[in-house]
Amino acid sequence: MYIGKKRLNSLMKNNGCCSNLISNVPYFKILFIISHLLIIEIIDNMENRMFLKRVAAIHDLSGFGKCSLTAALPILSAAGIETSALPTAVLSTHTGGLEGYTYMDMTSEMRPFMEHWKSLNISFDAIYSGFLGSFEQLNIVSDFFDEFRKKDNLILVDPVMADNGELYKIFTPEFALGMRKLCEKADIIVPNITEATLLLGEKYCPGPYSKAYIEDLLLKLSEIGPKQIVLTGVFFDEEELGAATYDKQTGITGYTLVSKIPGYYHGTGDVFGSALLAALLNGSGLNDSAGIAVRFTANSILRTYKAKTDIRFGVDFEHGFPELLKELKLV
Ligand code: PXL
């Protein structure tokens, strides 16, 4: 903006004849103002692009299997967002169907990470939490939110703990209650249907769902505290699957559904959450962001399905970056 104004002033000063012509002919005057506003807009956009947004990503690092940090880091980086990683656990692979994985709990390292970052005066445009490695980490992440919350940053909680009606092996029902408390502090939460029912203490229903059921879940989830809800795994028939959104302030509900692809692919929740955050931080609204994330995730699944890769090895999101960047209007 500053560069734009400076340029305009020098243009006016150096082009006396031009400004005379402009002030005498209203048509030129209007054209001149419009083109000046366009130039300012272009320079503003360039300046916004130059300003790098930063996310704190609080997830596990599963070395193989493309989920959590190994999905969040590449997806956010590709979308032009700097990402700082606070690992909650370090595993050789994720726990979804791959036997013999190693597991290093990072609970004792998390507060020292937080204190060091605080001492460096780092600030974040968003804090994005996902898979937590122990019950104690719920309190640590809650404190992290308190330490790094700003007036205008975004706290996104993906309450990773369950899918297909079942808690992941390492979590207990008490953990689900603790996760509900963490969600109270979020601006936006991204549960799947199983996680939503656990957060609400309701019985899991395998679907297909009715709109009334989904909208009732969205409303109750928003009553926990977050202003915005993105619910994944929504389907009304066997043909289509996608996400529903609810914005408490506007009262608007939205849906993006795409053709269902057979099979259960691992890590898709993390691919979805990372693409959603990438879109939100690049200026898209809630429902548009969910649409971008649904298409990015569905196309990643489709490529993997066609390639007949082992479904436990994660989805091919990497080949979706050109399309994602187009949707984010970054190219
Ligand atoms: O994508 C969720 C997830 C994240 N991290 C680990 C997991 C899972 C799901 O199973 O095992 C380690």
Q: What CATH number is attached to the domain comprising 193?
A: 3.40.1190.20
Q: Is the pLDDT of residue 12 over 60?
A: no
Domain containing 271: what range? 53-327
Average pLDDT of the segment spanning 138-166: 97
If you measure from the C-alpha of residue 11 to the centroid of ligand 1, how many angstroms do you get, rounded to a whole number? 58
Cβ–ligand 1 distance for 62 under 6 Å, the answer: yes
Number of domains making up the chain: 2
Choose which residue among 58, 59, 62, 67 to substitute to test ligand 1 binding: the one with the highest number of ligand atoms within 8 A of its C-beta: 67
Please give the number of the atom of ligand 1 that sits closest to the Cα of 268.
1
Residues 230 and 289 placed together within one structural domain of the fold: yes
Candidate from 39-43, 79-83, 232-236, 300-304 with smallest mean pLDDT: 39-43
Q: How far is the CA of 205 from the centre of ligand 1 (A)?
A: 22
pLDDT of residue 31: 66
Does residue 105 sit in the same domain as residue 209? yes
pLDDT in tens, 104-139: 999 999 999 999 999 999 999 999 999 998 999 999
Burial 282-321 (b: 16+ CB within 10 A, else e): bebebbbbbbbbbbbbbbbbbbbbeeeeebbbbbbbeebb
**Using CA positions, which residue lies closest to atom 1 of ligand 1?**
267
Regarding whether 230 and 267 lie in a shared domain, the answer is yes
Are residues 97 and 123 in contact, defined by beta-carbon separation less than 8 angstroms?
no
* pLDDT tens per residue across span 251-270: 999 999 999 998 889 999 99
Residue 14 has pLDDT above 50, yes or no: no
pLDDT at 80 over 50: yes
274 and 172 in one domain? yes
Do residues 36 and 161 share a domain? no
Q: Does residue 91 line the site of ligand 1, with CB under 6 A? A: yes
Per-residue model confidence (pLDDT) at position 270: 98
Query: Which atom of ligand 1 has the smallest separation from the CA of 170?
Result: 11
* Distance from C-alpha of 193 to C-alpha of 207, rounded to nearest angstrom: 9
| Confidence at residue 169, expressed as pLDDT on a 0 to 100 scale | 83
How sure is the predictor about 51, in pLDDT bands with cuts at 50, 70 and 90? confident
In this structure, the answer to whether residues 28 and 121 fall within a common structural domain is no
Q: Is the pLDDT of residue 7 over 70?
A: no
Q: How many residues does the chain have?
A: 331
Residues 131 and 223 occupy one common structural domain: yes
Instruction: Look at ligand 1, atom 6, and give the residue with the nearest C-alpha.
Output: 94
- Shared domain for 78 and 198, answered yes or no, is yes
Contact, 126 vs 281, CB < 8 A?
yes
Q: What is the pLDDT of residue 285?
A: 98
Q: What is the pLDDT of residue 263?
A: 87
Q: Kindly give the number of the ligand 1 atom that is closest to the alpha carbon of 93.
A: 12
* Secondary structure element (H or E) that encloses residue 90, with its range: strand 81-93
Helix 69-78 / helix 268-281 crossing angle, nearest 10 deg: 30
C-beta 232 within 6 A of ligand 1? no
In this predicted structure, what is the pLDDT of residue 310?
92
**Are residue 102 and residue 234 in the same domain, yes or no?**
yes
Q: Identify which has the larger pLDDT, 45 or 125.
A: 125
pLDDT at 268: 97
Answer for the pair 130, 270: CB distance below 8 angstroms, yes or no: yes
Do residues 192 and 204 lie in contact, with contact meaning Cβ atoms separated by under 8 Å?
no
Question: Per the omega criterion (within 30 degrees of 0), is the bond before 226 cis?
Answer: no
Q: Check pocket membership of 67 for ligand 1, CB cut-off 6 A.
A: yes
Ligand 1 atom at minimum distance from 130 CA: 4
- pLDDT of 54-63, one tens digit each? 999 999 999 9
Q: Please tell me the predicted confidence (pLDDT) of residue 97.
A: 87
Burial pattern 4-33, b for ≥16 Cβ within 10 A else e, equals: beeeeeeeeeeeeeebeebeeeeeeeeebe
Alpha helix segments (H runs only) across the chain = 2-14, 16-24, 26-50, 69-78, 107-119, 136-148, 173-184, 193-200, 211-224, 268-281, 286-307, 321-327
Whether 240 and 309 map to the same domain: the answer is yes
Q: What does the pLDDT read at residue 38?
A: 66
- Ligand 1 centroid distance, CA of 142 (Å): 20
Residue 28's pLDDT is what?
A: 65
| Mean pLDDT score across all residues of the chain | 90
157 and 239 fall within a common domain: yes
Q: Are residues 187 and 289 in the same domain?
A: yes
* % of the chain with per-residue pLDDT over 90: 81
